[in-house]
Structure 1
Amino acid sequence: MARAINRLTAREVQTLKKPGRHADGAGLYLSVDPTGTRKRWTFLFILNGKRREAGLGAVSEVSLAEARRKADAMRAALREGRDPLEVQAEKETAPITFGEAALAYIEAHRSGWKNPKHLAQWRMTLSVQKDDDGGWRETGYCTSIRDKRPADITTEDVLAILSPIWTTKSETAARLRGRIEAILDAAKVRGLRDGPNPAQWKGHMEHLLNKRKKLQRGHHPAMDYRDVPTFVGKLRLVRGMAALALEFTILAATRTSETLLARWGEIDLAEKVWTVPPERMKGARPHRVPLPARAVDILRLVGQIRHEADDFIFPGQKHRQPLSGMSMEMVLRRHGSGYRVIGGDEPTVHGFRSSFRDWVGDATEFQTEVAEAALSHIEGDETEQAYRRSDALEKRRKLMDAWDTYLEVGASADRK
Structure 2
Amino acid sequence: MARRQLHKLSVKEVKAAGPGYHSDGGGLYLQVGSGGARSWLFLYKERGTGKRKELGLGSAAEKGGVALADARKSAEEHRSTIAEGKDPAGERKAKALAAASAVTFGEFADAFLESIKGGFKGRNTHADWKRDLEVKAAPLRPMMLPDIQPEHVLAVLSPMWLTLNRTARETRSRIERVLEAADAKGLRTGRNPATWKAQKPLLPKAKKSKRHHAAAHYDDMPGIVKVLRTKHKTADTAVNLAAEYIILTAVRTGEARFMKAKEINFAKKLWTIPAERMKTEDDPEGNEHEVPLCDRAIAILKMAMPKDLDPEAYVFAGQWSRDHMKPLGMNAVLHALQKIYPAMTTHGCRSTFRDWAGDETHVAREIAEMALAHKVGDDTELAYRRATALKKRRELMEMWGRYVEGESNVVKLAATG
1:328 to 330, 333, 337: 333
1:231: which partner in 2?
224
Decide whether the 8 Å contact of 1:253 with 1:352 is kept in 2.
Answer: yes
Decide whether the 8 Å contact of 1:329 with 1:349 is kept in 2.
Answer: yes
2:128 to 178, 182, 190: 178
The two structures have a TM-score, normalised by structure 2, of 0.50
- 1:289 is displaced (CA, Å) by 0.6
- 1:333 is displaced (CA, Å) by 3.0
- 1:382 is displaced (CA, Å) by 4.9
Aligned residue type for 2:338? R
- The answer to which of 374-383 and 282-291 deviates more is 374-383
For 1:391 and 1:179, the matched residues in 2 are separated by 43
- CA gap of 1:323–1:387, structure 2 versus 1, over 3 A, is same
Aligned 1:360-371 pairs, distance under 5 A? 360-371=357-368
1:258 to 255, 258, 261: 255
Secondary structure at the counterpart of residue 289 of structure 1 = strand
Aligned 1:15-414 pairs, distance under 5 A? 18=20, 30-33=36-39, 42=61, 44=62, 53-54=63-64, 104-105=115-116, 126-127=120-121, 141-142=122-123, 178-179=128-129, 181-182=131-132, 216-217=209-210, 219-238=212-231, 239=235, 240-282=237-279, 283=283, 284-304=286-306, 308=310, 311-316=313-318, 317-318=320-321, 319=323, 320-337=325-342, 346-382=343-379, 384-385=381-382, 387-390=384-387, 392-409=389-406
Decide whether the 8 Å contact of 1:242 with 1:323 is kept in 2.
Answer: yes
Aligned residue type for 1:268? N
For 1:361 and 1:176, the matched residues in 2 are separated by 42
Decide whether the 8 Å contact of 2:261 with 2:309 is kept in 1.
Answer: no
1:93: which partner in 2?
none
For 1:286 and 1:309, the matched residues in 2 are separated by 18
Deviations 1:139-183 (A, max 9, x none): xx42xxxxxxxxxxxxxxx7xxxxxxxxxxxxxxxx897346348
- 1:297 is displaced (CA, Å) by 0.3
1:10: which partner in 2?
none
Secondary structure at the counterpart of residue 237 of structure 1 = helix
For 2:260 and 2:114, the matched residues in 1 are separated by 25
Decide whether the 8 Å contact of 1:105 with 1:183 is kept in 2.
Answer: no
Deviations 1:45-65 (A, max 9, x none): xxxxxxxx236xxxxxxxxxx
Identity of aligned residues (%): 33
For 1:250 and 1:334, the matched residues in 2 are separated by 15
1:138: which partner in 2?
none
Decide whether the 8 Å contact of 2:40 with 2:60 is kept in 1.
Answer: no
Deviations 1:164-220 (A, max 9, x none): xxxxxxxxxxx897346348879x99xxxxxxxxxxxx9xxxxxxxxxxx9834622
Secondary structure at the counterpart of residue 223 of structure 1 = coil
For 1:285 and 1:401, the matched residues in 2 are separated by 23
- 1:353 is displaced (CA, Å) by 0.5
Decide whether the 8 Å contact of 1:223 with 1:355 is kept in 2.
Answer: yes
Decide whether the 8 Å contact of 1:272 with 1:290 is kept in 2.
Answer: yes
- CA gap of 1:217–1:104, structure 2 versus 1, over 3 A, is farther
Secondary structure at the counterpart of residue 218 of structure 2 = coil
Decide whether the 8 Å contact of 1:258 with 1:280 is kept in 2.
Answer: yes
- CA gap of 1:33–1:231, structure 2 versus 1, over 3 A, is same
Aligned residue type for 1:31? A
For 2:64 and 2:115, the matched residues in 1 are separated by 22
For 1:220 and 1:41, the matched residues in 2 are separated by 54
Aligned residue type for 1:368? R
Secondary structure at the counterpart of residue 64 of structure 2 = strand
Structure 1: gaps of 5 or more residues? 1-15, 24-28, 45-52, 56-99, 108-122, 128-140, 143-157, 159-174, 190-201, 203-213, 338-345, 412-416
Secondary structure at the counterpart of residue 37 of structure 2 = strand
- CA gap of 1:353–1:312, structure 2 versus 1, over 3 A, is same
For 1:291 and 1:179, the matched residues in 2 are separated by 39
- 1:223 is displaced (CA, Å) by 1.5
- CA gap of 1:263–1:40, structure 2 versus 1, over 3 A, is farther
- 1:106 is displaced (CA, Å) by 6.5
For 1:280 and 1:398, the matched residues in 2 are separated by 25
Decide whether the 8 Å contact of 2:278 with 2:287 is kept in 1.
Answer: yes
- 1:103 is displaced (CA, Å) by 6.8
Decide whether the 8 Å contact of 1:18 with 1:32 is kept in 2.
Answer: no
For 1:226 and 1:396, the matched residues in 2 are separated by 21
Deviations 1:234-291 (A, max 9, x none): 1112233122112111111111111111111111101100111111113411111110
For 1:243 and 1:37, the matched residues in 2 are separated by 52
Residue correspondences, number: 250
- 1:328 is displaced (CA, Å) by 1.3
Q: Which has the higher contact order (CA 8 A, sep 6+)?
A: 1
Structure 2: gaps of 5 or more residues? 1-17, 22-30, 42-53, 66-110, 142-159, 161-206, 409-417
Decide whether the 8 Å contact of 2:260 with 2:311 is kept in 1.
Answer: no
The two structures have a TM-score, normalised by structure 1, of 0.50
